[in-house]
Structure 1
Amino acid sequence: MSTERQTSHHHPLHRRSLLRAAVVVPAAGAMAAGLDAAPAEASEDDAGTAGGRFDAESPRFSLAVLPDTQYLFDADSADPAPLRATFRYLADERSAANIAFMTHLGDVTEHGTEDEIGLAADTFRVLHGRVPYSVLAGNHDITSSTDDQRGDSAYLAAFGPDRYRSMPTFGGASPDGYNSYHVLRAGGRQWLVLALDWRVSDRGLEWAQGVLDAHPTSPAVLTTHDIAWSDDDGEARLSGNGQRLWDRLIKGNDQIFLALGGHYWPPGRTVLTNDADNDVHIHITNYQDRYYGGAGMIRTYGFDLVRNVIDVETFSPWFLARKAEKRSPLAAETIELTGPTDRFALSVDFDTRFAGFAPVTPAKPRPARAVMPRGTLAYWRFDASGTDAAGTPGAAVADGTVVKDLTGNGNDLTVRRLHSSGADALTWSADHHRGQPAHASLRFDGGKNPDRGAVLTTAARAALNSEKFLRGYTIETFVRLPEPFEGDHGWMGILSWEGRNAEAGKTTGWSPLEPTCSLNLSPERFLQFVVYPHRQDADPTSWSHAVPVGRWMHIAVVNDTRSTVMYVDGSKIARNPAQASTGIATLGKPFVLGGTQFDEAFGQGFYGWMGDTRIVGRPLSVDDFLTPVD
């Protein structure tokens, strides 16, 4: 569950709010009343009435995992209240936490009797129609000496295929009814959940393989009751049944990237390598040995496809919902588990991990005419459409090479090296931002001690040299910093206009010798955009956060004739000046890519990659930037 997600006032019981309340002030305890009352069933279309709707296209979503609940359904000592609280939490928080699905890992009951199964099945009515889910049989729910060919049982009657048919995620079940699969639309793509019996027969494995074969591009989460065990060190090891599943199903199907089981305690995890040489995460999740039989404790897997992370958290909604002063000592210490096997983050580059079965189709280059809106003053790109001399990736870009201004406004750029820089100071590259219109860039190898680099400049009489931007402006470029960020790199320019601001009559600022407009990078990797406006005697400056290395970013600076705002990857930065700013005090001197002058002399040139660059003579909205925002 992402901690970045905002909490709506319609969801006062969001887990983060409850945890803060548990530590600071007594919680409202809104869920404490009426925990035993089961609401009437609702259809999936009604999911928005209590907890809001699930957003299937958001890159952030959660999978909820519920392990062994058997001690809550144990003959005449049964107490379904904790599980009802958990289900209400999931239903109420579906929108706020963007919960896609909940999967139970088996051992729903202690003895698998009709009475226990019936009470458990009735308890699931709290969740039914609000959050889709799967339930599989554990050894306590059926005759443990049998596999999925065992035939009828109280469990099958209550938790067989008929229970899931109304769910939009239900894909089907094995002929015996004990194995099911579910297809989720989440994060803008389809995912599989395979819910397999405690003991899957050969027929069951054939069925599971058929499901995977029928969904060859869907990443799969395998759930079963018994897959691995762990000692107190938290390192999971495959059980005998887990080894069979690994050998017969998991390791040969690259789609399965996460396998979850219960049955054993304590919790543990490990990472195994499959036949495709990719990671498979194996986790044990079980809290029945904890106070109150685990108290309906759940684990959430918060998928973040932007950060390439799965954030894992473990907590008890039943205890969270109680007022702080009403919690017993054991309840208070079991609210949330924060050890390394219960709260952790998995780094998963989803595109790379899934490339073997679901490769990302790269976007095709977009023609220049498609990305030149009204008011575009200059647009440069480094593929064959942008320069007649575009060369082989890795080859040097010769001095004198011309990069055309594709608007036809005559703001062509010409390459030259700085100081005594060699050929490797500027090379062609096929690397590019995935949303960039052109699939090409330039690789600058600037640096200090001695200063070196390369720049591209407009001609002496180019219109851009004297443009005042009195109707505002949008300046965009794509940049990637090398990883590792090696060498001695002081201040370096990304783009600028040449000249001294004192020549424009400016008296403010750090120095009268700096140019009237420049986008730079500090040694700490903070972006700096400093401008001396045409109308005001001022130097409003925007500062970004420390930008990352090793990945492409889109940078935009937008001025609406009143003030200037910088965006990184479509996100407005914090440190934008409120100071009035109208136009740019250009001096009729060249515009530059790859460097910034001081006292009309270049020091270090840019170090990294630079892609398409566009200048528009009016403010654009984020939706109109060169690349869509993820």
Structure 2
Amino acid sequence: MRMKKAFIGLSLLCMIVPGIAKSADSLNSVAENDRSSIVANWKFTKQHVKSGSIDKGNLIIEDTTKQGNDLELVTIGDPASPELKKMLKWSEEDYYAQDKVNSLKFANYENAPAGRYFKTIRDAPINSENFDRGFTIELVFKMPRNPKGDMGLFSRQGQAADLNKMEGEKKTLSALSISSDQKLHWTSHPSNLNYNVSNWSRSLNAGEWYHLAVVNDGSTTTLTLNGVSDYGESEKAIGIAAVKGKGWNIGATEWGNKLDALFGGNIQEIRIANKALTEKEWLV
């Protein structure tokens, strides 16, 4: 009898194990699909420095997806300005207050003698990505304690006029900025329209951490800030128009092919997917 029970138990185990293995394979497959949709992921920590340093002005932040979308530090203005040293520093602050997690603190301000931001390297694949199947742009960032004026968070280089899109904001292509009254503004020229579409948020609080998700499902675009997405939907917008040979700016926006505004505050992570990710798939 004991042998029979043991045999039955072994038989059941043999039946269950393949099911467990199959479920695990299924989860791994889903995870792999999720990873394949991520086209760029930048973590602004010391652990993800590919080369260089802030002090030497040649810092390179790696794209953790290993797809070649690395970021290079850009310095503008007077390189001999004593204020330059404080424009970009490593910070121990992060969204969840974790150990061994850093962020980068930007101290740019309007009319400063010098400033710093990042841009994608020249041959980065994301520079030519049109996101026609949709996109998810996520940022984990902190507002400065004393915000002043407009600030640029993220932008696509080039202007709409370069693509003969002569309506709307023809001097900007795509930009994520913070207005002087501390409201987030996403504006972009889709591939299917000759003018830009926009999404706005409520006012942000000084010194507070935020997770932002700008999501396009291949048609409409929504903006969600710290889990609240009641900021409306855009009209039908497909993709993000791109100018050949142009890349992306991190911590800066452009106007008329010239730098317009730089960011002041902390940036911990930015991740971009070529489809609309669900909330469960978001960073936060």
TM-score by length of 2: 0.81
Q: 1:450 Cα shift?
A: 3.5
Residues 146-183 of structure 1 deviation map (CA, whole Å, 9 limit, x = unaligned): xxxxxxxxxxxxxxxxxxxxxxxxxxxxxxxxxxxxxx
Q: 1:451 Cα shift?
A: 6.2
Letter in structure 2 aligned against 1:501 = A
Tell me the secondary structure at the aligned position of residue 36 of structure 2. Answer: coil
Report the Cα distance in structure 2 between the residues aligned to 1:604 and 1:451, rounded to whole angstroms. Answer: 13
Tell me the secondary structure at the aligned position of residue 280 of structure 2. Answer: helix
Tell me the secondary structure at the aligned position of residue 604 of structure 1. Answer: strand
Letter in structure 1 aligned against 2:259 = F
Q: Contact conserved, 1:532 with 1:540, CA < 8 A, in 2?
A: yes
Q: Contact conserved, 1:437 with 1:612, CA < 8 A, in 2?
A: no
Match of 1:405 in 2: 63
Q: Contact conserved, 1:561 with 1:581, CA < 8 A, in 2?
A: yes
Match of 2:240 in 1: 584
Q: Contact conserved, 2:106 with 2:263, CA < 8 A, in 1?
A: yes
Match of 2:20 in 1: none
Residue 188 of structure 2 is aligned with which of 531, 551, 567?
Answer: 531
Residue 373 of structure 1 is aligned with which of 35, 41, 55?
Answer: 35
Corresponding position: 1:470 with 2:129: no
Corresponding position: 1:499 with 2:155: no
Q: Contact conserved, 1:400 with 1:415, CA < 8 A, in 2?
A: yes
Q: Contact conserved, 1:437 with 1:626, CA < 8 A, in 2?
A: no
Report the Cα distance in structure 2 between the residues aligned to 1:436 and 1:390, rounded to whole angstroms. Answer: 25
State how 1:15-34 maps to structure 2 within 5 Å.
Answer: none
Match of 1:387 in 2: 49
Report the Cα distance in structure 2 between the residues aligned to 1:417 and 1:573, rounded to whole angstroms. Answer: 37
Give the number of the structure whose alpha-carbon radius of gyration is greater.
1
Tell me the secondary structure at the aligned position of residue 252 of structure 2. Answer: coil
Report the Cα distance in structure 2 between the residues aligned to 1:506 and 1:436, rounded to whole angstroms. Answer: 45
Letter in structure 1 aligned against 2:191 = H
Q: 1:585 Cα shift?
A: 0.5
Tell me the secondary structure at the aligned position of residue 219 of structure 2. Answer: coil
Match of 2:218 in 1: 561
Corresponding position: 1:480 with 2:138: no
State how 1:7-22 maps to structure 2 within 5 Å.
Answer: none
Report the Cα distance in structure 1 between the residues aligned to 2:162 and 2:196, rounded to whole angstroms. Answer: 14
Tell me the secondary structure at the aligned position of residue 210 of structure 2. Answer: strand
Report the Cα distance in structure 2 between the residues aligned to 1:413 and 1:603, rounded to whole angstroms. Answer: 19
Report the Cα distance in structure 1 between the residues aligned to 2:38 and 2:95, rounded to whole angstroms. Answer: 21
Higher strand share: 2
Tell me the secondary structure at the aligned position of residue 261 of structure 2. Answer: coil
Q: Contact conserved, 1:500 with 1:599, CA < 8 A, in 2?
A: yes
Tell me the secondary structure at the aligned position of residue 417 of structure 1. Answer: strand
Residues 169-228 of structure 1 deviation map (CA, whole Å, 9 limit, x = unaligned): xxxxxxxxxxxxxxxxxxxxxxxxxxxxxxxxxxxxxxxxxxxxxxxxxxxxxxxxxxxx
Match of 1:458 in 2: 120
| Unpaired runs of at least 5, structure 1 | 1-368
Q: Contact conserved, 1:427 with 1:442, CA < 8 A, in 2?
A: yes
Q: 1:553 Cα shift?
A: 0.6
TM-score by length of 1: 0.38
State how 1:247-326 maps to structure 2 within 5 Å.
Answer: none
Identity value in percent: 27
Q: 1:498 Cα shift?
A: 0.7
Q: 1:373 Cα shift?
A: 2.6
Tell me the secondary structure at the aligned position of residue 453 of structure 1. Answer: strand
Residue 542 of structure 1 is aligned with which of 196, 199, 206?
Answer: 199
Report the Cα distance in structure 2 between the residues aligned to 1:522 and 1:427, rounded to whole angstroms. Answer: 24
Letter in structure 2 aligned against 1:415 = L
Q: 1:416 Cα shift?
A: 1.4
Report the Cα distance in structure 1 between the residues aligned to 2:37 and 2:260, rounded to whole angstroms. Answer: 33
Match of 2:72 in 1: 414
Q: Contact conserved, 2:40 with 2:273, CA < 8 A, in 1?
A: yes
Number of aligned residue pairs: 249
Tell me the secondary structure at the aligned position of residue 104 of structure 2. Answer: strand
Q: 1:574 Cα shift?
A: 1.9
Report the Cα distance in structure 2 between the residues aligned to 1:587 and 1:435, rounded to whole angstroms. Answer: 39
Tell me the secondary structure at the aligned position of residue 380 of structure 1. Answer: strand
Residues 59-113 of structure 1 deviation map (CA, whole Å, 9 limit, x = unaligned): xxxxxxxxxxxxxxxxxxxxxxxxxxxxxxxxxxxxxxxxxxxxxxxxxxxxxxx
Q: Contact conserved, 1:533 with 1:581, CA < 8 A, in 2?
A: yes
Tell me the secondary structure at the aligned position of residue 584 of structure 1. Answer: coil
Residue 88 of structure 2 is aligned with which of 423, 426, 429?
Answer: 426
Q: Contact conserved, 1:478 with 1:554, CA < 8 A, in 2?
A: yes
Change (3 A) 1:532 1:397: farther
Q: Contact conserved, 2:165 with 2:195, CA < 8 A, in 1?
A: yes
Change (3 A) 1:438 1:601: farther
Q: 1:538 Cα shift?
A: 2.5
Q: 1:436 Cα shift?
A: 8.4
Change (3 A) 1:409 1:388: closer
Change (3 A) 1:412 1:609: same
Match of 2:105 in 1: 443
Change (3 A) 1:607 1:522: same
Match of 1:122 in 2: none
Change (3 A) 1:438 1:389: farther
Residues 571-628 of structure 1 deviation map (CA, whole Å, 9 limit, x = unaligned): 1032432x1100000113111101001122214310100111100000011111101x
Tell me the secondary structure at the aligned position of residue 374 of structure 1. Answer: helix
Q: 1:418 Cα shift?
A: 2.2
Tell me the secondary structure at the aligned position of residue 161 of structure 2. Answer: helix
Tell me the secondary structure at the aligned position of residue 572 of structure 1. Answer: coil
RMSD of equivalent CA atoms: 2.4
Report the Cα distance in structure 2 between the residues aligned to 1:478 and 1:436, rounded to whole angstroms. Answer: 14
Letter in structure 2 aligned against 1:615 = I
Match of 2:167 in 1: 508
Q: 1:541 Cα shift?
A: 0.1
Residue 616 of structure 1 is aligned with which of 266, 273, 276?
Answer: 273
Q: Contact conserved, 2:44 with 2:268, CA < 8 A, in 1?
A: yes
Q: 1:452 Cα shift?
A: 4.3
Change (3 A) 1:436 1:461: farther
